[in-house]
């Protein structure tokens, strides 16, 4: 199951987490965001021991979005032990996301 986080909880949920965390920056009006959401939901359910996936509403958390220099959505930022390791921009199919997240 996808989890939600916000500017208020981002440090606790993501930056102090051990292991791999992916954060999907999205917005309700974003068509590609709606396309990738079910894929991320399935990955969260299929690989709960390998990765935690959070969603951040970019419109509601504009300060965090600006701080992380997110310039387009969807952007998925991957963190390992609190450090950013990768960014994936745009809607991608399941296989590519699995590869980018190191799940293959």
Active site residues: 30, 33
For 88, what's the count of Cα atoms within 13 Å in the CB-facing half-sphere? 22
Strands 83-89 and 75-80 come out as antiparallel
Q: Note whether 24 and 51 are within 8 A (CB).
A: no
CA 18, distance to chain mean position in Å, is 16
């Amino acid at each position: 199951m996808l989890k939600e986080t916000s500017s208020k909880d981002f440090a606790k949920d993501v930056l102090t987490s051990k292991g791999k965390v992916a954060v999907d920056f999205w917005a309700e009006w974003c068509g590609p965001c709606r396309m990738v959401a079910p894929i991320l939901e399935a990955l969260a359910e299929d690989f709960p021991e390998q990765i935690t996936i959070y969603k951040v509403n970019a419109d509601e958390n504009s300060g965090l979005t600006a701080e992380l220099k997110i310039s387009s959505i969807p952007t998925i930022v991957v963190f390992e032990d609190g450090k950013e390791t990768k960014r994936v921009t745009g809607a991608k199919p399941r296989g590519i996301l699995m590869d980018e997240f190191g799940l293959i």
